[in-house]
Chains A and B, each alone.
Chain A
Amino acid sequence: MHIRALAAFVPTSLPTPRRPPSAVLGSVVLTLCAAALWAVSLGQIELGQMTDIGLISVLPAPFFVALGLLTAGFCLTLRQERGRVPLLLLHVGVLIVMLYGAPALIEEMPRFHSVWKHLGVVDYIQRTGHVNPRIDAYFNWPGLFILFAFVSDAAGIQNWRDLVAWTPVVLNLLQLGPLLLIFGSATNDKRLVWLAVWFFYLANWVGQDYFSPQGFNYLLHLTILGILVAWFRVPAGERHPLLTRLGVPDLFARLPERIRRFAPTDLPPPEISPWQRRGLLVVVLALYLASVASHQLTPLATLGCVIGLVVFNRSTARLLPFIMAVMVVLWIRFMADAYMAGHGSTLVSQVGDLDSAVNENATTRMGGSQGHLMVVYARSLMTLGLWGLAAFGGIRRLRHGHRDLTFVLLAVAPFPLIVLQPYGGEMLLRVYLFTLPFMAFFAAALFFPDRAAGTSRWTTVLVGALSVALLGAFFVTRYGNEKMDYATSQEVAAADHLYNIAPPGSLLIVGTTNTPIRFRDYEKYRTRSLTSLLVWVGDAPIGVNLEAVAEVMNNPRVPATYLFITRSQIANDELFGLYPIPLGELAREMAASDLFTVVYADEDAAIYALKEPPSEAAP
């Protein structure tokens, strides 16, 4: 038995004009020129000059010229008939490096504060050889951290700091395989497949591809969906067995042929042997088990998609949702019980709470500086814009006789997650991420709804124009918070110094949690943000002033208390307006005050302690 799940990528004749080999050469030259120009332009970037709209404010013109050249090369390659796939692969590979690799090359340290916490969890498992579910949620879904603790020791890797900065590039490259598998299950028009891939990468602004459980779980999620849509599609005309069993008449078959023609089935499935079917199902279950052990949210999104496929008769793996649901329930009941004991009632109370969902996902995000607000609006616009394009693309594809019900289901299946949990105000972002492949597919279908359509030069021009618009928006939406997301070597050096001097059990107070911290001795220190402590002192909110800060730090129950303020925290405050007075100004006042002593200071960070020791003896 031979399967060609990705047979869509075997060159076939298309009604596009035959082009000479010089066009291939031209595409290669354009790509190489773009890559070279991009690499040179990186040297002109001054991170310190960044404004509140993020990375785009410091990107030089040649950077965008390089992306324009790459886009032109891609659009021209889409029109070529021969040798197209290797060239498209080259373009997409270069695009991924350009879009997702730039921070790794221009920033000194891995970006995004959560990465540092995740390194701390890996470090904990390496040191202790076990997980303590009572520490926090990470230890209740520790699969990825266990994997990296194992790999660290097995491969003799001492320090992940230099490597994790490249995680977005690696994960996006790895996602290309599942994406091709998914898109290839719906069409064998290579233009549509590769344009959908192109749009996916141009529109993936949510930034969940850093070193995180979500990043790796998204790869597993896409692969599971890829397997199901590629090999487990329901044959044309096969009714849902439940409908047959219940004796429900086949109303669709009774429709006149003229009407039925407008609703054809998706591509027919490949035939697979029982051995292959069982083997692929075991693979799906192995991927899902790893996902269940690694992340709270992704398994639920995967389960929702699989349920949708089975209920609407789009998958022959009809028992799969039940097995998956059992896996999730068993994990939550037995492996994450420590977390659920403390948070279960809160989580349950939030189910179906639309007010909370809307408030946390949308309303609270509409704040901060003017620059940051512009970024928020750009994100909203890009999200709605892509969904709008997808809607029109879906309609256009339907009008050309392609139903794509499977993809429609997968595009809408993640939306119920919004009412399930606010997820710290991030659920809308995650829903966007889970729906992105299918939205990108339908957006691409707007230009190539059918193999016979989209052959004019105008289509190429429109694809290029939309790509340029998405590229411009990408650097605002994805890297709009870069001012606070990047970390400097001085910030990390200061954090290292903090861990060197702070006795175990110390309270480490940070201006905001947006800082490289908790990457060492994860369980030995309590880390709290100043804002949260200020709110709770004396059971009432207290104004932000030096006396209030000193009172928070005057904690006799811990061996020592330090206040750690960094450049990225100050940027966080500038973007979001977290403090009534600017955090930077507070830091300057502290440095000049008699209440505090500056334990350590460098260009981008400072550590403060009280001059006088705590007023009460430790119990």
Chain B
Amino acid sequence: MIRPDRVWPVAIMLSAAFVGALAVGGAGPPLRPIATLGFLAVCPGMAIIRLLQLEDVLAELTLAVALSIALGTLVAGTMLYVGLWSPGWALGILLGVSVIGAACQLRPARLGSSTEAGSSDDGRMREPPDRPLAG
């Protein structure tokens, strides 16, 4: 049984391995486009966002998708502008980013973990009141 906090990193690593295998094996549609699009839309961003420990799946997903789009743009764009255009290598870089990010999540002491102020006893942020506040 996988611990809940390890579901995402394990899923990201398995997805990276699967997408990498499809690319190397030269698989065709529909499996390769679906798997690669799904991976590129979520995994690179999620591998990084989860390091921030936002502990909110919807917020993490929201940020992960946008960051994945940005990372894809920046990696491919940089390669193109420096004259090293290679979609295969760009995919490889994003696979690497995803695997490294997921591996960092699996470390026993996660990056930036702390018990600093702001956490309530049950581990959740204190929910702000929706009451008018003076001042």
Tally of B interface residues using CB under 8 Å: 63
Name A277's closest neighbour in chain B (CB-CB).
B52
Classify the interface of chain A: helix, strand, loop or mixed: helix
Instruction: Check A146 for interface membership: any CB of B closer than 8 A.
Output: yes
Contact partners of A257 in chain B: CB under 8 A: 134
Per the bound structure, the CA–CA distance linking A270 and B74 in Å amounts to 30
B59 near A181: Cβ-Cβ < 8 Å: yes
Given known A-B contacts A3-B56, A156-B33, A223-B62, A264 and B117 have beta carbons under 8 A apart:
no
B54 near A294: Cβ-Cβ < 8 Å: no
Interface string of A151-173 (1 = CB under 8 A from B): 11111111000000000000000
Those of A107-148 within 8 Å (CB) of chain B:
125, 129-131, 142-144, 146-147
A287 near B80: Cβ-Cβ < 8 Å: no
Q: Report the stretch among A4-12, A303-311, A507-515, A611-619 that lies at the interface.
A: A4-12
Tally of A interface residues using CB under 8 Å: 74
B70 near A290: Cβ-Cβ < 8 Å: yes
Those of B103-133 within 8 Å (CB) of chain A:
111-112, 114-119, 123-125, 127-133
A236 near B124: Cβ-Cβ < 8 Å: no
Per the bound structure, the CA–CA distance linking A146 and B125 in Å amounts to 40
Instruction: Check A582 for interface membership: any CB of B closer than 8 A.
Output: no
From B65, B88, B90, B117, A177 is in contact (CB under 8 Å) with B65
B122 shortest CB reach to chain A, Å: 9
A1 near B118: Cβ-Cβ < 8 Å: yes
Those of B47-65 within 8 Å (CB) of chain A:
48-49, 51-56, 58-59, 61-63, 65
Q: Report the stretch among A240-248, A278-286, A355-363, A479-487 that lies at the interface.
A: A278-286
Given known A-B contacts A2-B123, A3-B125, A287-B70, A125 and B133 have beta carbons under 8 A apart:
no
A449 shortest CB reach to chain B, Å: 11
Those of A177-208 within 8 Å (CB) of chain B:
177-178, 180-181, 187-189
Name B31's closest neighbour in chain A (CB-CB).
A156
Contact partners of A268 in chain B: CB under 8 A: 128, 133
Those of A313-339 within 8 Å (CB) of chain B:
335
Residues of chain B at the chain A interface (Cβ within 8 Å):
23, 26-29, 32-33, 36-37, 40, 48-49, 51-56, 58-59, 61-63, 65-67, 69-77, 80-81, 83, 85, 87-88, 90-91, 111-112, 114-119, 123-125, 127-135
Residues of chain A at the chain B interface (Cβ within 8 Å):
1-7, 9-10, 125, 129-131, 142-144, 146-147, 149-158, 174, 177-178, 180-181, 187-189, 216, 219-220, 223, 226-227, 230, 236-237, 253, 257, 260-261, 264-265, 267-268, 270-273, 275-276, 279-280, 283, 286-287, 289-291, 293-294, 335, 400-402, 451
